[in-house]
């Protein structure tokens, strides 16, 4: 636990002194009590139960003072809070390999069903956008809270050739930051041919931009699902670098076979392999996580996990109010017991 004003904690050193003062006062009262003519009256008034009771209210009041001093030091703690995530982009692979049936009924249908289940788990105020990618990437649905429009967009996927995972990240970023000048033409070989340094790739004719810490942008996130490796388009690690500079987390989900499998599509025979190494690198670069789903059930679990992660978050926040509330409860309890047992406060 950290404290914003730790200097107030020095006042806690006074607590032992107050405790010693209390016991000194108790001993002084005891000596005065012995001056009574009848010691039997004193013993009766100061029975074992009564002796224990009279220490409880002062002890509770002392604890209240400790809690108040800790609250004054403004403690910070990591707690689980509702996330302020407002927009999520689902970037989904629609390349021909998604028709493979190693994930029943096939990879595409399993991905569609898992995505729709994911939408049901999200709070209604969270906007979701859909990006479909194969040889290119396109916005299938702009971010919206209308779940029916999102389901329609997911059901309308059409399989295409090739896989451009980098393009999916670029288009997702352009959707999240429409005024930032992020464009496919400003990445990779195209950007170098135009004389644009690689570190400026993806930023285009935009306003002055200062990179932020990876994962620090908590208002949006990207979830990218793919079953293959990049065959065309922007280098996904270049795209991930730009996402990291904007603080956007890119969660990656791999589906299908890791070793590789031969798939037939539109008369073509192709061998596809899940590029886990790149997907893990994308997630690591953006301070997100990589998930592997070998079956339809695994894929549903992954999306459920992501739903939980994106709707709550661990965050360091000030908890002074909790200590102040505890101090108030202890002080009231101390006063209440004192009035109940001794008809006076302390």
Specify the CATH architecture of the domain 85-294: 3-Layer(aba) Sandwich (3.40)
CA separation for the pair 137, 140 (Å, rounded) = 9
| pLDDT of amino acid 313 | 61
* Least confident range of 20-29, 204-213, 273-282: 204-213
Q: Residue 162's beta-bridge partner residues?
A: none
Region class of 256: left (phi > 0), else alpha (psi between -120 and 50), else beta = left
Tell me: pLDDT of 9 over 80: yes
Q: Residue 38: pLDDT band by 50, 70, 90 thresholds?
A: low
CB 131 within 8 A of CB 90: yes
| pLDDT of amino acid 199 | 44
Maximum average pLDDT range among 23-37, 198-212, 241-255, 297-311:
241-255
| pLDDT of amino acid 156 | 95
| pLDDT of amino acid 140 | 96
Tell me: pLDDT of 188 over 60: no
| pLDDT of amino acid 26 | 73
List the domain boundaries for the chain.
Answer: 2-77+318-342, 85-294
Question: Of 322, 323, 316, 317, nearest to 69 (Cα)?
Answer: 323
**With pLDDT > 90 as the criterion, what percentage of the chain qualifies?**
39
User: What is the mean pLDDT of the segment spanning 14-25?
Assistant: 83
Tell me: pLDDT of 286 over 90: yes
Query: What's the sign of the alpha-carbon dihedral 294, 295, 301, 304?
Result: positive
Q: Residue 31: pLDDT band by 50, 70, 90 thresholds?
A: low
* Averaged pLDDT score across all residues of the chain: 82
pLDDT digits (tens, 9 = 90+) for 191-237: 433 333 434 444 445 556 789 999 999 889 999 999 878 889 999 99
Contacts of 125 by beta carbon, 8 Å cutoff, 6+ apart: 86, 145
Residue 288 burial class via C-beta count within 10 angstroms: exposed 0-12, middle 13-18, buried 19 and up: buried
pLDDT digits (tens, 9 = 90+) for 98-142: 888 878 888 899 999 999 999 998 888 889 999 999 999 999 999
Q: Residue 280: pLDDT band by 50, 70, 90 thresholds?
A: very high
pLDDT digits (tens, 9 = 90+) for 161-184: 889 999 999 999 999 999 888 888
Contacts of 117 by beta carbon, 8 Å cutoff, 6+ apart: 300, 303, 304
Pairing of β 249-255 and β 261-265: unpaired
Cα 95–Cα 89–Cα 260 angle in degrees, nearest 5: 30
User: What is the mean pLDDT of the segment spanning 51-80?
Assistant: 85
Higher pLDDT, 314 or 34: 314
| pLDDT of amino acid 338 | 84
CB 228 within 8 A of CB 275: yes
Question: pTM of whole model > 0.75?
Answer: no
């Amino acid at each position: 636990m950290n404290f914003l004003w730790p200097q107030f904690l020095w006042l806690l050193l006074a607590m032992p002194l107050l405790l010693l003062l209390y016991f000194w006062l108790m001993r002084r009262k005891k000596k005065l009590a012995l001056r009574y003519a009848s010691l039997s009256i004193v013993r009766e008034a100061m029975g074992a139960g009564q002796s224990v009771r009279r220490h409880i209210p002062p002890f509770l009041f002392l604890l209240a003072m400790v809690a108040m001093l800790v609250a004054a030091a403004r403690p910070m703690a990591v707690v689980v809070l509702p996330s302020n995530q407002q927009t999520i982009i689902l970037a989904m692979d629609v390349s021909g390999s998604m028709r493979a049936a190693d994930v029943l009924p096939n990879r595409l249908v399993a991905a569609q069903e898992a995505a729709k289940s994911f939408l049901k788990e999200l709070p209604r105020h969270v906007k979701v956008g859909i990006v479909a990618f194969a040889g290119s990437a396109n916005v299938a649905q702009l971010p919206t809270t209308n779940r029916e429009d999102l389901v329609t967009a997911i059901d309308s996927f059409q399989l295409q050739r090739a896989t451009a995972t980098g393009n999916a990240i670029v288009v997702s970023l352009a959707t999240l930051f429409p005024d930032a000048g992020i464009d496919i033409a400003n990445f990779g070989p195209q950007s170098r041919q135009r004389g644009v340094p690689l570190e400026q790739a993806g930023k285009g004719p935009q306003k002055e931009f200062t990179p932020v810490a990876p994962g620090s942008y908590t208002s949006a996130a990207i979830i990218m699902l793919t079953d293959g490796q990049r065959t065309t388009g922007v280098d996904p690690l270049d795209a991930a670098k730009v996402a990291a500079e904007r603080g956007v987390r890119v969660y990656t989900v791999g589906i299908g076979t890791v070793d590789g499998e031969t798939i037939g599509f539109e008369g073509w025979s192709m061998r596809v392999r899940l590029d886990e190494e790149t997907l893990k690198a994308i997630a690591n670069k953006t301070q997100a996580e990589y998930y592997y789903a070998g079956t339809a059930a695994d894929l549903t679990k992954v999306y459920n996990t992501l739903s939980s992660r994106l709707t709550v978050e661990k965050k360091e926040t000030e908890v002074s109010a909790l200590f102040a509330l505890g101090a108030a409860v202890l002080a009231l309890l101390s006063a209440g017991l004192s009035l109940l047992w001794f008809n006076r406060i302390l």
